[in-house]
């Protein structure tokens, strides 16, 4: 594996925002040549696979400005500084959907786009749900949608769901309910 590693020689910060940082690094390649890498640094996120007793998933629809579309997505968000991932998953689910999960279990972590970002998404299964009250951020506008898992699988396979974390969440929900996770 060491023979594949790239070594950072220099780094220049281009943007330091509220959520992300953007930099361009010069790296030494395994063959000794140099190249550049454009990198987005992200603090990481949680995504919640909220399952009802009827094998439905609780999802949100929201407009995503970079895509220009309303997307169907798992409830998700960024943990607050110092916040435990499990607590962040519970908080994001309740803020976005109004549902509280008595049972939350981490099942997967993975890079969202490792070609240019270090963002890791931590996936949680949430069960034993009770409806409380939505408490969205003031700049957040979402609609809650509860959809049968089989219908979601059909939508994912047909290419009707275009958010990758949600596609992964649907597949993980199916595996979880079949005892594979």
* Helix H or strand E segment including 175: helix 164-177
Which SS3 state, helix, strand or coil, does residue 103 take?
strand
138 catalytic residue (yes or no): yes
Q: Which listed residue (138, 140, 143, 150) is catalytic?
A: 138
DSSP letters spanning 83-132: --HHHHHHHHHHHHHSEEEEEEEEEEEEES-TTTB--EEEEEEEEEEEE-
Catalytic positions are 138
């Amino acid at each position: 594996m060491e023979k594949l590693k790239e070594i950072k020689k220099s780094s220049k910060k281009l943007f330091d925002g509220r959520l992300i940082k953007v930099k361009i690094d010069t790296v030494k390649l395994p063959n000794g040549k140099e190249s550049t890498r454009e990198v987005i640094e992200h603090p990481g996120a949680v995504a919640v696979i909220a399952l009802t007793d009827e094998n439905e998933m609780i999802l949100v629809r929201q407009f995503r400005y970079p895509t220009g579309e309303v997307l169907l997505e798992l409830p998700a968000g960024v943990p607050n500084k110092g916040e435990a991932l499990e607590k962040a998953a519970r908080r994001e689910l309740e803020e976005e959907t109004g549902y509280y999960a008595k049972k939350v279990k981490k099942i997967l972590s993975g890079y969202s786009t490792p070609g240019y970002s270090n963002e890791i998404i931590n996936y949680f299964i949430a069960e034993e749900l009770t409806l409380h009250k939505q408490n969205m951020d003031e700049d957040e506008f979402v609609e809650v949608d509860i959809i049968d898992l089989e219908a979601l699988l059909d939508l994912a396979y047909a290419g009707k769901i275009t958010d990758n974390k949600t596609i992964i969440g649907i597949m993980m929900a199916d595996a979880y309910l079949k005892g594979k996770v």
